[in-house]
Amino acid sequence: MIKITPEDLVRYLYNETFEQKTADIKAALQTDMNLRETFEKLLSAQQSLNEINLSPGPQAVNKILKYALKK
């Protein structure tokens, strides 16, 4: 059996694996419940990251504007 690492799962999650590795991971996910659990945790983490607000808050914007006025 081919060893699948958490790093392999992350690459698979982001569609960055080669064709053979993708096939190996898909097969392993069907039979290895521990690997499947790890993958589901990574998938959940990825979905959580997509929900993060990446905009600066109003306080940060105001501080930047105040600093810019000093120059």
Contacts of 17 (CB under 8 A, 6+ apart): 8, 11, 25
pLDDT at 71: 67
pTM for this entry: 0.70
| Per-residue pLDDT in tens (0 to 9) along the chain, 71 residues | 689 999 999 999 999 999 999 999 999 999 999 999 999 999 999 999 888 878 888 999 999 999 998 86
pLDDT at 2: 83
Q: Show me where the domains of the chain are located.
A: 6-70
Indicate the helix (H) or strand (E) that contains 6: helix 6-13
| Cα gap 22→56, rounded to integer Å | 37
pLDDT at 51: 84
pLDDT at 41: 97
| Cα gap 63→22, rounded to integer Å | 47
